Structure 1
Amino acid sequence: MKMSDLLHFTAKSLWPEAYATDNTPQLIAGPCSAESREQVLATAEALDHHGVKLFRAGIWKPRTYPGQFEGVGEKGLPWLTEVRKKYRMLIGTEVGNAKHVELALRHGIDFVWIGARTTASPFAIQEIAEALKGSDIPILLKNPLSPSVGLWLGALLRLIEAGSKKVALIHRGFDIGTHTALRNTPLWELISEVRQVAPSISIYLDPSHIAGHKNYLPKLIQTAYHLHYDGLMLESHIAPNKALTDPAQQLTPDELAKLLHTATPSEVAQLELLRDQLTTTDNQLIDRFAHRRLLSQEIAKVKQSLRLQPLQEEQYQLRLQQLQATAEEYHIPADLLSQLYQLVHRDSLEIQSGEKKCTNTNFSTSQHTITLSGLRFFAYHGLLPHEKRIGNTFELNATLHFPATEVMKSGNLEKGINYAEVYQLLQQEMRIPTELLETLTYRILQRLGSAFPLLTSATVTITKLAPPIPSFDGEGVSFTATANYKKE
């Protein structure tokens, strides 16, 4: 089967008539992960109250690092079948290999989806396609992490070739290698391309994984309505702040119902999302330009020691030609590239010639503050045995104070504090299981003082997002401590 065959392929309807939604996107909702029978049933009951007919929950969770919560596995499948029996919902889960498919079919799961990491592996997709032969359940295929339409549709073709007719796609955003306002970049234009190649294939939007935080969900859902997506897959948890996976992007069932009730198609929402990403990109450009200026200062020192002139005409022309060739691949106008590079190069020459001096001395920069906020870590801190075994999600905020005059004047990071190194230190300490937050905080403050002699003070706050307190309904339990470092 070739890519062109998708133009003429007609997929079967995914859902029985009693479960289909007319005129509005089909909704699939449920927790990111099935964590316990009580959590699954409580979430399902609340979603059923709001009319949700299709229930999702991850049983097997592909995680980046070992030791993180990877799902409850097969024991969670009966929890889903109980949801179907009690609330007459169709139930679905993610499958990542043939064994998952076998177990899902054995327990009568009504539909499955294939995650982004699995979609990227032709071997895994072929194995799943073969395992699904002879079944007639709906299969929803998420896009791969990389923005490759060919990889995505190639996986779809494998499923169709193996006999699957009830197939659909899920747009969950792409990892384009740079940080944006959203967790994953939508790349809406790629979805238009997919629709042209496979016009009969339904496309669902997964705004939860594009957003990464529930604050962006309204704009994404408004955009989904405007762009006529066939369905939505949204993550909903009875107590998101206690979720073992992706707590920030999950809504309570009540929040989900309110959001869907008030959402309307909006082209403005799509524009605002694009502007959010543009702002982030602009900030990244400034960051990269500042880094380039630091490199120019280092180059100036080396040229001085080699007794070279700031302008090396041959090197300049060679680099300009290389950039123009790269710009052509990305369809950037040659004259625009030339103008930008001339401006940047002129600034570099002025730095190397020592022509730019700061003449305004009417201010003081004796202290500087670096803040690392909202850092999330999954770790095994706690007194109770199950905390040491199952783990928990922690949020860490750190504020560091130090004199910054030298680093601001020189532009030499070695005369300041590198926040990337601070993060690495925090990451290392959070990996060490510790019974008390107080002990953990003390150890971090002690290491910060040893690792960064410039520090005058530091404040660290660690929050346990799901403390082992019966019926706890808060945002978490925090401990904060401040250290003042004496300089001899």
Structure 2
Amino acid sequence: MEITRENRKWLDDLQLSHPLVIAGPCSAETEEQVLETAHALKDSDVTMLRAGVWKPRTRPGSFEGVGAIALPWLMRAKKETGLQIAIEVGSAMHVKIALQYDIDVLWLGARTTVNPFLVQEIAEALNGTDKVVLVKNPVNPDLSLWLGAVERLQAQGIKNLGVIHRGFSTYRKTDYRNNPQWQIPIDLKSKHPDLPLICDPSHITGNREMIFDVCQTALDLRFDGLMVETHPTPEQAWSDAAQQITPSTMIQIMEDLRIRKKDFSDASATENLEHIRTDINNLDTKIIGLLSQRMKLAEDIGALKKKDNVSILQSEIWKRTLSRMKEQGANGGLSDSFIDAFYKAIHQESIHHQQKMFD
């Protein structure tokens, strides 16, 4: 897939002096609610009004959106405020209806992105459209699956593209509703710097109190924009009440966020940075050398286990090792989650090297 400046022309054409901001309720509930939200945001830096029309829910019986009857409400909001309209589509039928109403921006949700068959149907329904189409990351942390959805859209002649980072499901308990795993969108941005990248802090956090910090992190990582769920009375929202904020809070967040410079303006600071980076490079080289030595020792252990017909996995030893490393990491100012991920990767590689001795 080749992403060029042409694919972000829609964003460049907006000529914004700030990151793109898409805001609005999780679900369009009533016409009054939609219009109240839109009018509260119209004189701010918000460019697009978002609202869920069809809501994919984990379990049946939950509120699944009011459906197409909300689209005239949204078009009235656009007429009265000038805000562009963005909605989620989850099927070819949704696309057909959205295009009939001339909706400006369509996005594919996480549960849709995970299904290539469904993405293909939606892409074909959008064939040749000049609408902006955004793709949320799949539920699971799979960069190829995320980019694959973009490629399917691109193959149908859709040029105005972008992606939305909304975090990833995990079986481990974290502070987030969906773990951000920032390295995945960073890898995406490295591969395709011209593909607009938008952060959805509402679904990452699931908690309105954490919205600002995640927004700031996204901007610090040079995301192109934000999509934030905004509701006049969040506590009374029909869906995802805990993660929505009021329009006034949204406006205050936009005022408080800091846009970082791309580069240092001070020559001496740049010089100091290069010295520090040199020291880091030297340490990285030593780390790789030490890891290589560690894997050679793992192979020695594998040879001993093979000779005496002992199983590779020694769970109790591994648990003690991980516990010891977490304690040492904490003493060195390293987070528990980092040590956990780092040493699990080392352990997996060690098992691989031991297995080679059994082949």
For the superposition of Structure 1 and Structure 2, which TM-score range results when normalised by the shorter chain?
0.7 to 0.9
Q: What secondary structure sits across from 2:22 in the alignment?
A: strand
CA contact (8 A) 1:20 1:26 kept: no
Distance 1:177 1:315 in 2: 34
AA paired with 2:345? H
Summarize deviations over 1:359-394 as a string: whole Å, max 9, x none: xxxxxxxxxxxxxxxxxxxxxxxxxxxxxxxxxxxx
Q: CA deviation at 1:20?
A: 3.8
**What is the match of residue 21 of structure 1?**
16
Query: What TM-score, normalized to structure 2?
Result: 0.73
* Residues 12 and 202 of structure 1: CA distance in aligned 2, closer, same or farther (over 3 Å): closer
Q: Is 2:345 the counterpart of 1:331?
A: yes
CA contact (8 A) 1:28 1:234 kept: yes
Q: CA deviation at 1:196?
A: 2.3
Distance 1:143 1:73 in 2: 23
**What is the match of residue 257 of structure 2?**
263
**5+ residue gaps, structure 2:** 261-307, 319-340, 352-359
Q: CA deviation at 1:200?
A: 1.4
Query: How many residues are treated as equivalent by the alignment?
Result: 283
Q: CA deviation at 1:319?
A: 4.0
> With CA pairs under 8 Å and 6+ residues apart, which has the higher RCO, 1 or 2?
2
Distance 1:330 1:9 in 2: 39
**What is the match of residue 168 of structure 1?**
162
Q: Is 2:2 the counterpart of 1:6?
A: yes
CA contact (8 A) 1:35 1:71 kept: yes
Distance 1:220 1:65 in 2: 28
Q: CA deviation at 1:259?
A: 1.4
Summarize deviations over 1:322-371 as a string: whole Å, max 9, x none: 987xx99943259999xxxxxxxxxxxxxxxxxxxxxxxxxxxxxxxxxx
**What is the match of residue 67 of structure 1?**
61
**What is the match of residue 110 of structure 1?**
104
Larger Rg: 1
Higher fraction of strand: 1
Higher fraction of helix: 2
**What is the match of residue 126 of structure 1?**
120
**What is the match of residue 72 of structure 2?**
78
AA paired with 2:16? T
**What is the match of residue 151 of structure 1?**
145
Query: What TM-score, normalized to structure 1?
Result: 0.54
CA contact (8 A) 1:208 1:217 kept: yes
* Residues 261 and 331 of structure 1: CA distance in aligned 2, closer, same or farther (over 3 Å): same
Q: Is 2:193 the counterpart of 1:199?
A: yes
RMSD over aligned Cα atoms: 2.8
CA contact (8 A) 2:200 2:228 kept: yes
* Residues 107 and 8 of structure 1: CA distance in aligned 2, closer, same or farther (over 3 Å): closer
CA contact (8 A) 2:20 2:46 kept: no
**What is the match of residue 208 of structure 1?**
202
Summarize deviations over 1:49-98 as a string: whole Å, max 9, x none: 33422111010000011111000001000001001111111111000000
Summarize deviations over 1:129-172 as a string: whole Å, max 9, x none: 01111310000100001000010001110000001000000000
Q: What secondary structure sits across from 1:55 in the alignment?
A: strand
**5+ residue gaps, structure 1:** 267-313, 338-488
AA paired with 1:114? L
Q: CA deviation at 1:31?
A: 0.4
CA contact (8 A) 1:10 1:201 kept: no
Distance 1:262 1:79 in 2: 31
Distance 2:167 2:5 in 1: 25
- Percent identity between the aligned chains? 41
Distance 2:82 2:183 in 1: 37
AA paired with 1:257? I
Distance 2:189 2:239 in 1: 32
